[in-house]
Amino acid sequence: MNLVTIGFFVGIVGLTLLVTYIAAKRTSSASDFYTAGGGLTGWQNGLAIAGDYLSAAAFLGVSGAIALTGFDGFFFSVGYVVANLVLLYIVAEPMRNLGKYTLADMLTARFNEKRIRGIAATSTITIVILYMIAQLVGAGALIQMLFGIPYWTAVLIVGVMMTVYVLFGGMTATSWVQIIKACLLLFGTALISFLVFWKFDFNIMKMFDTAATVTEQGENFLIPGIKYTSTIDSVSMMIALVLGTAGLPHILMRFFTVKDAKTARKSITWTTWITAIFFSLTIFLGFGAAAFVGQAKILAANPGGNLAAPLLAEFLGGDVLLSFISAVAFATILAVVSGLVLTGASAISHDIYGEIMKNGKLTPKQQLVAARTGSISIAVLSILLALGAQTLNVSFLVSFAFCIGASANLPVILYTIYWKKFNSNGAIIAMATGLISCIILGALGPNVWNPEAGKAIFVGTPLVALSNPAIISVPLGFLAGWLGTILTQNKASEAKNAKIYNEIRVKANTGISVSDVSH
């Protein structure tokens, strides 16, 4: 580590701690802790959501994937961008109008039953843990490479930082860390892209011509087929990306940090523009790395291609740019894991402890204590799991998380908002089916089983050929919700259900609340 690296590193840590210090003074209730008191503005929340999208997997992973596999890497970019529309058109505003802190709050607005809250919290915790292990293991390996410190120290540094942000600053600090990181990442990406484009004389044709000749894959670099060869496998992955985003609890939770549906809408508008710009720039990062760093050097540095962007930065701007991009990557990891800790804590402390075990009868002060205890437990658990998973290739766990979001959460969210007859049995069955089918199909898939030793966790032939089972599990989730509902409906509960649905429909479509009619 040289002085410049240490400078950027200390700068980012200092800035985020300052933000946490200011946020801590404003965090005095459970509402402040979980949702920043609902006080974020449209652009702030939009940048924070964009920050959630732009994880280390998106920044380092996608640019590396494009550098190594050409167009195949760009599939992810398209998935992330179009996912904004699913959020905007069918999820964001009803979510804001119906929910309070968590996904379970929104579902229990319609079905006030503990078992619904329980299964929604289970799904949230499962997604958070899978996502977190992948992020922490990736973070540990990355920081080890970038700064030359041991894996366990790296995981501990990230673990302690994320706990400090969440514990003291709650959602306010978590959001601002995310906002700072999103700005730094956008700036860094735009700068590298500009330098790459300069090298190509600001000529798009020249850039593509170079890409078609510079790699061993030749012109195949510019068409799909290097990594993905099967149509059905790609369709399945694309379904998981576009629908899973709208079912990820740490993204859904962000809609509760704004005051109303209009602001939720504004947030997503910001997110759409930012992600569209960022993911367009991944072409420059990927092509630039392939042309100026070379695939051989990228592979030698990291077989997954994760160091393509930092290596490109080093080529373009020497040590200074490398240090800056490394620091940005570090901030990216910190921001995303903090959001995950907070979301996990909301499911443990608010849903399971506060609402299920204590019947929602905690005093505001007890709620805050519970929230902080929950944050520490989820952080410690994830750190231990990440330390144990060091030698495993766990990056695929993120795609499991998307699969569960799309198969267990999204069907129930849509039915709850839009289907009059939907009942609580249907909700339970849909969530359980989506969750279990993703885990079982995933556990039998090629990410876990590979005939060659060292390529996956176990040696053997995968029973399911799909690397992401969403194409099976998403329809299963929807089907289970429908069947569970029509097979268990009865006249007595139907009348009550219809009355509650009227309330849901009015709230979701008008955003009406007590404050609107009290005057």
Partner 1 sequence: MANAARAYVDDKAKTPEIDYDAFVEMDSFNKLVKQKRGFLFTTTFLFMIAYILLPILAFTDALQAKAIGNITWVWIYSLSLFLMTIILCTLYVSRAQKFDKQAEAVIAEYQQKKGGR
Taking the least distance from each CB to partner 1, the nearer of 252 and 439 is 252
Query: 252 or 335: whose CB is closer to partner 1?
Result: 252
Residue closer to partner 1 (CB basis): 295 or 326: 295
Residues sharing a CB contact under 8 Å with residue 242, sequence separation 6 or more, in sequence order: 79, 82, 83, 86
Stretch that binds partner 1, among 149-157, 221-229, 372-380, 398-406 (CB under 8 A): 221-229
Pick from 72, 331, 333: nearest CA to 222: 72
Tokens 């030793």 locate to 453
Closest to partner 1 by CB, 142 or 211 = 211
Instruction: Please give the radius of gyration of the chain, using alpha carbons only, rounded to the nearest integer.
Output: 23
The minimum distance between CB 202 and partner 1, in angstroms, equals 15
Three-state SS letters, 24-78: HHHCCCHHHHHHHHHCECHHHHHHHHHHHHCCHHHHHHHHHHHHHHCHHHHHHHH
Residue 222 or residue 432: which is nearer to partner 1 going by CB? 222
367-406 positions binding partner 1, by CB under 8 A? 367
- The size of the interface with partner 1 (CB under 8 A), counted in residues, is 72
Q: Contacts with partner 1 in 50-79 (CB under 8 A)?
A: 71, 74-75, 77-78
Dist CA 107 CA 88 (whole Å): 19
**Which tokens sit at 146?**
């970038």
Q: How far is the CB of 488 from partner 1 (least distance, A)?
A: 24
Q: Which residues face 459 on adjacent strands?
A: 450
Q: Could you tell me the sign of the dihedral formed by the alpha carbons of 242, 247, 251, 252, in that order?
A: positive
Task: Choose between 493 and 510: whose C-beta lies nearer to partner 1.
Answer: 510
Q: CB under 8 Å to 221, separation ≥6 — which residues?
A: 70, 71, 211, 212, 215, 290
Closer CB to partner 1, 282 or 323, in the complex: 282
- Cβ proximity to partner 1: between 220 and 373 the closer is 220
Q: Which amino acid is at 235?
A: V
Question: Residue 23: CA atoms inside 13 Å, Cβ hemisphere, count?
Answer: 28
Torsion from C-alpha of 449, 453, 458, 463, nearest 10 degrees: 20
In the bound complex, what is the minimum distance in angstroms from residue 31's beta carbon to partner 1?
4
Is residue 3 a contact residue for partner 1 (CB under 8 A)? no
Cα angle for residues 348, 353, 357 (degrees, 5° grid)? 145
Q: How far is the CB of 166 from partner 1 (least distance, A)?
A: 18
**Interface with partner 1 by CB under 8 A: which range of 55-63, 131-139, 201-209, 291-299?**
201-209
Contacting partner 1 within 125-184 (CB under 8 A): none
Overall residue count recorded for the chain in this entry = 519
Q: CB-wise, 109 or 161, nearer to partner 1?
A: 109
Q: Which of 30, 35, 182, 28 is nearest to 103 (CA)?
A: 35
Half-sphere exposure of 32 (CA within 13 A, CB side): 16
Amino acid, res. 308: A
Distance from C-alpha of 117 to C-alpha of 110, rounded to nearest angstrom: 11
Q: Is 225 left (phi over 0), alpha (psi -120 to 50) or beta?
A: left
Contact predicate 178/332, CB 8 Å? no
| Shortest separation between residue 5's beta carbon and partner 1, angstroms | 34
Tell me which stretch binds partner 1 (CB under 8 A): 147-155, 228-236, 302-310, 381-389: 228-236
Interface positions, 76-115, toward partner 1 (CB under 8 A): 77-78, 81-82, 84-86, 88-90, 93, 100
Q: Which of 143, 467, 155 is nearest to 302 (CA)?
A: 143
Instruction: State which of positions 423-482 bind partner 1 (CB under 8 A).
Output: none
Of residues 176 through 195, those in contact with partner 1 by CB under 8 A are none
Residue of 20, 234, 282, 382 that binds partner 1 (CB under 8 A): 234
Of 358 and 455, nearer to partner 1 (C-beta) is: 358
Site residues for partner 1, 471-500, by CB under 8 A, read: 499
Residues between 25 and 54 with contacts to partner 1, criterion CB under 8 A: 26, 28-32, 37-38
Q: How far is the CB of 502 from partner 1 (least distance, A)?
A: 5
Place of tokens 């005057």: 519
In the set 3, 453, 495, 517, which binds partner 1 (CB under 8 A)?
517
Interface residue with partner 1 among 49, 173, 242, 340 (CB under 8 A) is: 242
CA distance 243 to 250: 14
Q: At closest approach, how far in Å is the CB of 286 from partner 1?
A: 12
Helices (H), 389-450: 397-404, 410-418, 424-443
First to last CA, the chain: 63
Query: Dihedrals φ, ψ of 209, to 5°?
Result: -60, -45
158 vs 274 by CB, closer to partner 1: 274
Q: Which is nearer to partner 1, 324 or 353 (CB)?
A: 353
For the bound state, the minimum distance from the C-beta of residue 287 to partner 1, rounded and expressed in Å, comes to: 11
Which listed residue (66, 133, 146, 237) binds partner 1 by CB under 8 A? 237
Is residue 253 within 8 A of residue 414, CB to CB? The reply is no
| Amino acid (1-letter code) at residue 354 | G
Residues in 345-374 at the binding interface with partner 1, rule: CB under 8 A = 360, 364, 367
Q: Which stretch binds partner 1 (CB under 8 A): 131-139, 189-197, 203-211, 324-332?
A: 203-211
For residue 152, the minimal CB distance to partner 1 (Å) is: 38
Within residues 262-301, the interface with partner 1 by CB under 8 A covers 262, 265, 268-269, 272-273, 276, 279-280, 283
